[in-house]
Each structure stands twice: as C-alpha cells, then as structure tokens.
C-alpha cells in the first residue's frame, strides 16, 4: 500500500473530533486493518512464549526429557523469530497509517484555507492556522496508534485472560478485572488532560500569531519606539503559556507514572498469588513460570492501552480544532447575473467613488483605511451596494469578479522559491484573483500563450515595476531562490516584486493600495511613468498620496471621512482644494527624505 501525496483526500467528517478521527481510519481501512491484525498477532505471540516455556519446564526440564525440552525450546525460538518479523511489519504499517493521516489532514486544511481565500484572515488568525499545521496535525496522526497496538492490546488482554483460565480461575479473575480498575483510575485524568490540552492549544495559537506579527513588523516597531511595549506583552503571554504547559505536564506525568507504577503493582500481586498457589500445590512450577510470564507479557498490552488513552485524549482535542477550522465558510456567493460584457463603470455608493473604464484613477485620503475600504468594496471583499455598470456586484458570481478585478495588496504573501516563480506563478496572485493573464474578452479560438510569450510578459511586468536592478543584483537572476515573504529582500524590493506580479496577471481592473510607499523618489517616478504606460487603456485605481503618482492620474478623488469631497485632476485639486493641497504638499516634502527608504521601513 502506498501513500499518494497528491490524491484527493475526500470530504472530511466535520461533525466532531471523534468522527474526524474515525474518518481518517475509514479512508485507509485496509491499512488500519492490517496494522490491527499484525499488532494483535504480535502481542498474542508475546503471551505464547510463557506458555511454551511452561511446557518446556513441565514436560522437558522437570522430568529430564531432553528431546521434549529441545522441541519446546525450538518452538520458543521460532515464535520469537516470527514475532520479530511481525514487530517490524507492524511498525512499518503503523508508520504508513500515521503518515497517511498526516498528509490527508494537511491536504484537507490547506485545501479549505485555499477555498476560504480572502475570507480566511477575517475569521481566524494566522497563529491558529500555524498551530494546526505544526502541532495538531502531528498529534492527530500519532493518536491513530489506537488502531494498531490499541486493538492488539485488547485482543492480547483477552487472550492472556483465556490462558490464565487454564491455570487458575482466581488468577484469571484478577487479571481480567485488573485492567478495568486501571481504566477507572486513569479515566478522570484523561478527561482533565483534554481540558488542559485544549486551553494550552488556544494560548499557543495566540502566541504564535504574535510571533508572526513581530517578525513582520519589527522594523516599524523600532521606528515607533514600541518594541519594548510589545516585548512586555509577549513576555506575559509566553509566561501564561508556560504555566499552562506546566499544568498539562502535571496531568501527563501522573498518567505516565500511573501507567508504569500500577502495572508493576499488578504484576507483584499476581505473582504473589501464583506463588502461594504453587506452594499449596494448586499449580505446578511450570504453571507458576507461565503465570509470571503471562503477567510480564501483559505489561505490553497494558502499557499500550494507557498510551492509547493518552494519545486519543490529545488527538481528539487536536481533531476538534481542525474540525472547527473546517467548519468556517466563506461569505455566501448568491450571484446569478453575468458581469458586464464590456468595460463598465465601477461605482461605490458608500463613498461616492466612480471609476471610469480605461482610466488611471487615484484615491487620496488622510486616512489610508478609508481608501482600502473603498477598494475592498469595489472588489467585493466586503459586502456593499457597489455596482459594475448597472449590475450590483453582489449579484455577480464571485469567480467572474475575481477573474477580472484584482487587488494588489501591499502585504500580499510571497512564497519561497525561485524569483521567476514568485513573480510569474499565476496561481498565487496578490489577493486571490483568478488566472487573468489574458484579456477576459479574448477570442474563443485564441491560441494559448507560448513559452516565449510568457517570458516576454514577465520581462514587461518586471520593467513596468522598475525591478530590473533587483534581478541584476541577484547571483542567478530570476533563478535565484528567495525566502518566504522575500525576507531576504528589502522593503522596497518586495514592493516592486509584488507590483510586477500584479501587472503580470494583466487584469481588466487593477486596484492597488500604496504601490510605491517604500520607494525613493527617483524609483517612484520611474514606476509611475511605466505603470501608466503599461496600463494604457485599462482600468487602474491607486490609493496613494504621492504627488509623483497623482500627477500622472487621469482622475483624482479626494476623500474626507470616507466620502468623495472633490474630484478632478491633480493640478485642479491643488489649485482649488486647500485640504487636498495641504495633504499632498506634506507628502511632497516628505518625498525628499525617502532616498534609501528601500532598505528600511516604508517612508509613508
């Protein structure tokens, strides 16, 4: 049986943690069944060794029959060899079970995160997703040990009980009743562990999210003088997590201590009872040896049963977290009307912004969040009454909107890999846009782009983003691997890489928030000129306050408190709107200090 890392994982059972674990077992039931059979035979044969040893003593050693002794000894050697092979096969099979559960859960979680798209960040933090991927997936896969050694432990326990009946009913009753007593003693601890583990995972996800925020904004925090404040908060959160970890460890230590200590007491009790019966002549010496061997062999099943309970308690907590994530749903898409066939006006009634097709439009506001809110509404990332032509965006199927309208987010994710793939991989656009590298109204019989065409488009996008110097500075050019989020590049370089990626998709409508905020004045002017040329005849909306960009815009909307206060060209608004002039003039003065801003925090 092989594990196909690319096969469809199937629809998961999202009704609860236990049901999710059962779904993982059902998806690979032949392998789980094989693991259970191998583990059962392995553990039963562990108990067979004392039986054979008793026969060797009673029928060979005690009467002095060397032939019988050799036969029974040979049988023990043969059983030991078979058991060694079974142990290897059991371990291999259970490793495959765990790996399959691991890969399957990863694929389910990643697939669901992809389906949520832009709705993901609004419903769950990055720390939660990281905690699921790093910790919960491994815990779930480990808990599936129950289907192998766990089942085998139950079978072996029953088998040992049956063998003990052939020796002494009293001893058999002690053995058969002893393990349920262990379960009663450990049961409350298992329930307590689930509660402590769940709280620990919650705190861990919060702390993981804070670590991600720190890694992404350390330079900004240094610039604002807030590093100490955030460090204190991180110290408090990590202290709470440590204390919760101690609580989890305390419960776990009791479970493990009882798991080791109680079976030893159990072994001592049965051995003492067996020795008394042997001394009274109720059982033979060989039977006493077998009783001791049975109880020793029972140590493995008991240990696996306790471990199974421990792992299942942790596994169900992790599975509940995965199920809670899988229950998240994106906003319903009830659109049934087709988008306008021709380029049409985008209108946001909430702000009064109207975007004419084929023009470069700029949104200027003292509060950047007001402009990004407008962009989110125009791209239907938030519910609104925005329209496209005379059709409400809410009435248009979301795939049609994503294939034609793209938001170039200044913090869009950049995945690790060769720079050419980071820029040119159309499966990872800035904000979840579809594959829109070609015009939406291209002829139906148009030939797909060739490799040369794709290379030319990539070169044009890099040129439009003024990113050629980045390519030249890297040792292998476009083939140079970059780290996740391109952290080995400067802030301005990352910004131009994101812009090049957005331009490469060539959407009908491009919405960009502060696309040049981390660039020096000279580079910004170059990007402004090339951007206008690259987007000639296509709709482009920029949220910016840079005079270098505004001077090249066809239309500028000045927003005050999230609504259009004035509309015109950059020059017209400078001459007629004091508020606009004060906002832009301040930015213009700041532009003189942006030289070298690419190597540090954003200039604006």
Burial of residue 137 (CB within 10 Å: 0-12, 13-18, 19+) is buried
Residue 228: band (very low, low, confident or very high) from pLDDT cuts 50, 70, 90? low
Reported as a single tens digit per residue, the pLDDT across 190-209 is 666 666 666 666 666 666 66
Give the β-pairing of 346-348 and 353-355: antiparallel
Strand partners, 406: 510
CB atoms within 10 A of CB 387: 21
* 229 pLDDT more than 70: no
Q: Closest by alpha carbon to 365, among 378, 352, 383, 384?
A: 352
Token pair 């990539």 is found at 458
* 527 pLDDT more than 50: yes
User: What distance in Å separates the CA atoms of residue 489 and residue 598, rounded to the nearest whole number?
Assistant: 9
Q: Is the pTM of this model over 0.95?
A: no
Token pair 């090249």 is found at 552
For the chain, give the mean pLDDT.
Answer: 80
Q: Are 534 and 503 in contact (CB under 8 A)?
A: yes
User: What distance in Å separates the CA atoms of residue 7 and residue 123, rounded to the nearest whole number?
Assistant: 28
Helices (H), 327-418: 368-378, 398-404
Token pair 């898409």 is found at 333
Helices (H), 284-387: 285-326, 368-378
Alpha-carbon distance values, 309 to 183, 360, 379 (Å)? 9, 64, 50
Reported as a single tens digit per residue, the pLDDT across 31-73 is 999 988 998 888 888 777 777 777 777 777 767 778 888 888 8
DSSP state of 604: -
Reported as a single tens digit per residue, the pLDDT across 303-316 is 777 777 778 888 88
């Amino acid at each position: 049986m092989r594990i196909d890392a690319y096969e469809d994982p199937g629809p998961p059972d999202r009704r609860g943690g236990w049901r999710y674990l059962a779904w993982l077992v059902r998806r690979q039931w032949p392998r789980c069944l094989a693991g259970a059979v191998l583990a059962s035979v392995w553990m039963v044969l562990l108990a067979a060794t004392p039986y054979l040893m008793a026969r060797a003593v009673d029928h060979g050693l005690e009467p002095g029959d060397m032939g019988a002794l050799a036969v029974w000894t040979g049988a023990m050697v043969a059983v030991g060899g078979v058991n060694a092979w079974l142990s290897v096969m059991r371990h291999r099979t259970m490793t495959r079970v765990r790996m399959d559960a691991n890969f399957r859960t990863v694929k389910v979680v990643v697939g669901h995160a992809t389906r949520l798209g832009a709705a993901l960040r609004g419903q769950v933090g990055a720390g939660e997703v990281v905690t699921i991927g790093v910790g919960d997936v491994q815990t779930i896969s480990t808990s599936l040990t129950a289907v192998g050694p766990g089942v085998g432990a139950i079978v072996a326990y029953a088998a040992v009980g049956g063998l003990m009946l052939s020796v002494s009913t009293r001893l058999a009753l002690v053995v058969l009743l002893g393990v349920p007593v262990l379960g009663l003693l450990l049961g409350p601890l298992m329930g307590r562990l689930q509660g402590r583990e769940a709280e620990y995972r919650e705190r861990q996800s919060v702390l993981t999210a804070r670590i991600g925020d720190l890694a992404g904004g350390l330079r900004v925090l240094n610039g604002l003088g807030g590093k100490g404040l955030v460090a204190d908060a991180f110290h408090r959160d990590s202290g709470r997590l440590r204390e919760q970890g101690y609580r989890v460890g305390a419960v776990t230590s009791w479970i493990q201590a009882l798991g080791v200590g109680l079976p030893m007491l159990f072994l001592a009790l049965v051995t003492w009872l067996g020795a008394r019966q042997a001394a009274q002549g109720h059982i033979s010496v060989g039977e006493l040896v077998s009783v001791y061997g049975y109880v020793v062999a029972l140590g493995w099943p008991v240990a696996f049963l306790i471990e199974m309970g421990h792992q299942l308690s942790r596994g169900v907590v992790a599975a509940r977290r995965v199920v809670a994530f899988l229950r998240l749903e994106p906003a319903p898409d009830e659109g049934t009307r087709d988008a306008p066939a021709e380029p049409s006006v985008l209108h946001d009634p909430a702000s009064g912004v109207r975007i004419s097709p084929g023009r470069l439009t700029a949104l200027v506001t003292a509060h950047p969040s007001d402009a990004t809110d407008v962009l989110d509404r125009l791209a239907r990332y938030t519910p609104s009454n925005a329209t496209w032509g005379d059709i409400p965006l809410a009435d248009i199927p979301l795939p049609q909107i994503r294939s034609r309208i793209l938001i170039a987010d200044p913090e869009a994710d950049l995945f690790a890999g060769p720079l050419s793939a980071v820029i040119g991989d159309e499966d990872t656009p800035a904000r979840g846009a579809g594959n829109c590298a070609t015009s939406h109204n291209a002829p139906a019989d148009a030939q797909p782009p060739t490799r040369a065409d794709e290379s030319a488009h990539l070169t044009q996008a890099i040129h439009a983003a003024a990113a050629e110097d980045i390519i030249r500075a890297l040792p292998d050019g476009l083939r140079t691997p970059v780290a996740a989020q391109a952290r080995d590049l400067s802030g301005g370089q990352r910004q131009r890489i994101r812009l090049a990626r957005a331009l490469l998709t060539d959407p009908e409508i491009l919405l960009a928030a502060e696309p040049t905020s981390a660039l020096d004045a000279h580079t910004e002017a170059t990007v402004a000129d090339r951007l206008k040329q690259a987007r000639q005849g296509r709709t482009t909306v920029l949220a910016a306050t840079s005079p270098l960009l505004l001077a090249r815009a066809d239309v500028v909307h000045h927003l005050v408190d999230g609504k259009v206060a004035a509309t015109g060209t950059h020059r017209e608004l400078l001459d007629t709107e004091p508020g606009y002039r004060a906002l832009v003039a301040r930015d213009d003065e700041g532009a003189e200090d942006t030289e070298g801003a690419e190597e540090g925090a954003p200039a604006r």
